[in-house]
Amino acid sequence: MADRLSIGLILPDVLGTYGDDGNALVLRQRARWRGLDAEIVRVGLGEAVPNDLDVYCIGGGEDSAQTLAAQHLIADGGLGRAAWAGRPIFAVCAGLQVLGESFRAGGRVYDGVGLIDATTAAMQNRAIGEVVSTPTGHGATAELTEPLTGFENHMGASILGREAKPLGRLRAGTGNMDESTFLDISDGQQQRASEGAVQGSVIATYMHGPALARNPQLADLLLAKAMGVSLAELEPLEIDAVTALRAERLAAAQG
């Protein structure tokens, strides 16, 4: 088990609009609470993405920021090499869209990084509000058992291909797409109930919050993957404030 962790915060200068930088802070603090030496490595636009960090976080941003991020990540290739090496990557909102095959921004379609078999179109109405899902347990998320909760704020409709699986099944909120999108898809009813995506070592979601502050089990799963151990091998953490936050947000979303 590693006693030192490097946490990559990827392009926070362009994909840091919604406070998703906090996901890296949560990972660092939960690692430190367990006595690990953890550091955050910030990688800005124009800088090479190291392919040997232990875990990566990428957040949300506006249309123009997405296009800049996608162009940089495609040209650089470091995040792709990290994914191929099995390094855990956590992507939120625009991060999900950018890591897909393509996404729409400013009325145009742009190539994504291609780490998730998903294409993102535009919804008619913005999805905004609390979202709750039940983890599907696909792939890298097999050990997740607790409900997932966050705050969504997007107009992207992400359609999953055969290689990508949903992170969660919706209990409240819009998730990956709204009704105007799924009517045009052969498996639309199933896709309409989806939130996020899982493929290989990539876990992606539309949950802000930041998501890992509201979902400690998901945060610990990422830490476990980064350390090369199972979730069950991590020392449990009982943090009253986190428990209270989850209870409040789950009640608000489902009430």
Exposure of 75 by Cβ count < 10 A (0-12 exposed, 13-18 middle, 19+ buried)? Answer: exposed
Residue 208 annotated to the active site: yes
C-alpha to C-alpha distance for 239 and 37, rounded to whole angstroms: 20
Are 79 and 115 in contact, with CB atoms under 8 Å apart? yes
C-alpha to C-alpha distance for 40 and 34, rounded to whole angstroms: 16
What torsion, rounded to 10 degrees, do the Cα atoms 234, 213, 25, 49 define? Answer: 90
| Edge-to-edge order in the sheet of strand 202-205 | 37-43, 4-10, 55-58, 89-92, 202-205, 197-199
Amino acid at 169: R
Residue 138 annotated to the active site: no
Q: State whether residue 84 is helix, strand or coil.
A: helix
Q: Which of 57, 72, 154, 208 is catalytic?
A: 208
Q: Is 126 annotated as a binding residue?
A: yes
Are 40 and 25 in contact, with CB atoms under 8 Å apart? yes
Q: Which of 57, 72, 93, 154 is catalytic?
A: 93
C-alpha to C-alpha distance for 132 and 62, rounded to whole angstroms: 23
Residues placed in the known binding site: 126
Residues with active-site annotation: 93, 208
Sequence ranges of the binding site for substrate: 126
